[in-house]
Structure 1
Amino acid sequence: GVSPDDRVGILTKPSLEMSAAVLGVLKAGAAFVPIDPEYPDQRIQYILEDSGAKLLFTQEELSVPESYTGEVILLNGERSILSLPLDENDRANPQTETNADHLAYMIYTSGTTGQPKGVMVEHHALVNLCFWHHDAFGMTAEDRSAKYAGFGFDASIWEMFPTWTIGAELHVIDEAIRLDIIRLNEYFEQNGVTITFLPTQLAEQFMELENTSLRVLLTGGDKLKRAVKQPYTLVNNYGPTENTVVATSTEIDPEEGSLSIGRAIANTRAYILGDGDQVQPEGVAGELCVAGRGLARGYLNREDETAKRFVADPFVPGERMYRTGDLVRWTAEHGIEYIGRIDQQVKVRGYRIELSEIEVRLAQLSAVQDAAVAAVKDKAGNTALCAYV
């Protein structure tokens, strides 16, 4: 009963049922809305209402908001849809009216208004991510990858689809070992995991361990502050949800000292712009704007916000670009260097300072595991900096 651009909610723990639901929704021609069961009830309720999901796939041990009026379909237990017998009308790949410009998924990200925003991603953008991934990392059906990220985080999309579409193995990481890097590393070794994603802070800790199974470690989601030389390749990635997970990428050589976010991936354009959308020269900071095949359609039910962030591309007539709000600079040797959020700039005694730049310097000290810098007011009411290590 679903059609192209319809949204279907999936509220599940990382599991085989989660995979069945995601693939089932896409085969039926609709778009899936991943919902992490760890979210507060209020957020789950808001996502279901805002997305207009007429169906919800879930597991019987999880609770569904009482206010939800759509149809609830169980993926496990005695009343599971997956336990129903097949009949002569069932097809492995049913024909639908869905095309490359219809929605593949919609994922919710933090909003400036305090309410999450539904980012609408179309099939062509997801396909572009998969083909780039296969090509960039030489992925084959012999690879083994891990499903680590939370289901409601867009890195989860990146973990699943390139792996499935090349025919490789996807290992769903058990909740019991997700935050224990020793056991996580042991799991990778025992199961021969060859390529996987880990969020930045976890990847920085993981690199301190010895691992022989990996050939590629992917990271991203925050500013990379340190890297350790390992036999496997470390790849730093950057991308807003609005550009289908990854927009720029680069291999990191810890001995070079640069922790850049690299260059634009396939079929993607990256601009560093200053006032009046003027391209900034090498070494001069500006706002990073991205365009190309990975760009999302926009935000659901947020026309004003969409118009503000998804603007006309001044360099390619008829196309759009996304204003990331991130401050970066270009270097010919290493590509794009990430500085921080534009709104993280502060002025101290007339000097314009990036808080994240100081955080990176502090983190480079051998005794410092992590650092955070905040702007505070001193007794005189002047802006001062306070560092936590």
Structure 2
Amino acid sequence: MTTASTTASTTVYQVIEEQIRRTPDATAVVFGKTELTYRQLEARARDIAAALSAAGARPDAVVAVALRRSPDLVATLLGVLKVGGVHLPIDPAYPADRLEFVLSDSAPVVVVTDRATVESVAGTGVRCRLVEEIATARANPRPALRPDHLAYLIYTSGSTGVPKGVAMTSGALTNLLRWHIGVAEGGMGSRVAQFTALGFDVSVQEILSSLATGKSLVIPDDETRADPRALAAWLRQERINELFAPTPVIKAVCEAALEDGFDLPDLREVCQAGEALTLDARLGRFFLDSGTRLRNNYGPAETHVVTSHSLDDRDTEWPTVVPIGSPILNTRMRVLDSGLCLVPVGVVGELYVSGVQLARGYLGCSG
């Protein structure tokens, strides 16, 4: 199965920039009592981009980001993309050996961090820049960027060997955003939770798809994010319309809401990724009764999302195991046997992916 569409020549930051021009005064990011408009977020991203450029960031140069959830985290992601850098999210809670390996292997030109997390990375010998010390800049870096420049670097878990850095291009990420914009509901005024773990590639889609469509990205604190009952209450209180989360979190949040006797009337779309999506009758009924659409996105880190399947209240029956769905834009899926021949319908084979969504490869692993 294949899905073809004209490939856009724009880069990821240009997609976001177009939305900033359309809705400069709309709310882009919410964190507690702090709110930034699209205009304010772009100004902060410009300041950070200027600081990164001065530190040596340029197209295809890795910039590691070790920050807590905050508006500055979002602005830093945009700042990295603006200078054409390669965004490498770093979780300060990584074990010391993984942290040291990732920073050594990726060789970032700089690590953007803050006073609360700098100690976790400073001992690795990398160059650090505190985000609190980045001041207003007059410069507005505008490097010549191409879709084949890298946009982000995500390291695999290393469960099958040494962790590898999956190098995703701007063109692949732009293609993903174009697909997401075409299928997403809601627009300016919709509220998207920034829930996904920052070292997981879904967080990139979660953040950028919100900003590419004029929505408001709402950030919970870490304590709320870690407690399903508190998270369910927060989703209701903050009138969240969209949530990206893996199946165990979705189930735990829905169970907490049911046990505490309330629904989530504003939640219109939930996107699941990272593992097989399984449903029981209780969870399926929760979504059917609320009219919330449940989307199952599939794809390994080497492709990000390549297929998707959605369920909503127009479906009379929800399956126990949800299919991975159909290919997104400019992606082709084939089921092949050991000789790389197409298998007949109903015969087991391996799933092969081709098209725009493929990563450039693994960083430093030309083979």
1:103 alignment partner AA: L
CA distance in 2, matches of 1:204, 1:267: 32
Partner of 1:149: 196
1:206 and 2:257 are equivalent in the alignment: no
Q: Which has the larger radius of gyration?
A: 1
2:292 alignment partner AA: Y
Partner of 1:4: 59
Instruction: Spell out the pairing of 1:186-201 with structure 2 (5 A cutoff).
Output: 186-201=233-248
Q: TM-score, normalised by structure 2?
A: 0.76
For the 8 Å contact 1:195–1:215, the answer to whether it is kept is yes
CA distance in 2, matches of 1:66, 1:187: 34
1:271 and 2:334 are equivalent in the alignment: yes
- Aligned partner (choices 243, 261, 264) of residue 324 of structure 2: 261
Q: TM-score, normalised by structure 1?
A: 0.72
CA distance in 1, matches of 2:203, 2:77: 12
For the 8 Å contact 1:228–1:254, the answer to whether it is kept is no
For the 8 Å contact 2:231–2:253, the answer to whether it is kept is no
Tell me the SS of whatever aligns to 1:243.
coil
Partner of 1:24: 79
Higher helix share: 2
1:5 alignment partner AA: D
Partner of 1:249: 308
Higher strand share: 1
For the 8 Å contact 1:133–1:139, the answer to whether it is kept is no
How many Å apart are 1:182 and its aligned residue?
Answer: 2.3
1:127 and 2:182 are equivalent in the alignment: no
CA distance in 1, matches of 2:126, 2:330: 38
Q: Which has the higher contact order (CA 8 A, sep 6+)?
A: 2
C-alpha root-mean-square deviation of aligned residues, in Å? Answer: 1.8
Partner of 2:215: 168
Tell me the SS of whatever aligns to 1:178.
helix
Partner of 2:27: none
1:237 and 2:291 are equivalent in the alignment: no
1:215 and 2:262 are equivalent in the alignment: no
How many Å apart are 1:303 and its aligned residue?
Answer: 2.3
1:40 alignment partner AA: P
How many Å apart are 1:29 and its aligned residue?
Answer: 2.0
1:86 and 2:104 are equivalent in the alignment: no
Aligned residues: 294
How many Å apart are 1:86 and its aligned residue?
Answer: 3.0
1:295 and 2:358 are equivalent in the alignment: yes
5+ residue gaps in structure 1?
Answer: 305-389
For the 8 Å contact 2:239–2:266, the answer to whether it is kept is yes
CA distance in 2, matches of 1:237, 1:254: 21
1:118 alignment partner AA: G
Partner of 1:321: none
How many Å apart are 1:69 and its aligned residue?
Answer: 3.6
Partner of 1:74: 130
1:227-258 deviation line (CA, Å, top 9, x unaligned): 513220111111111112x1111113582425
Change (3 A) 1:288 1:65: same
How many Å apart are 1:172 and its aligned residue?
Answer: 1.3
For the 8 Å contact 2:92–2:121, the answer to whether it is kept is no
Change (3 A) 1:66 1:183: closer
Instruction: Spell out the pairing of 1:45-60 with structure 2 (5 A cutoff).
Output: 45-60=100-115
How many Å apart are 1:284 and its aligned residue?
Answer: 1.7
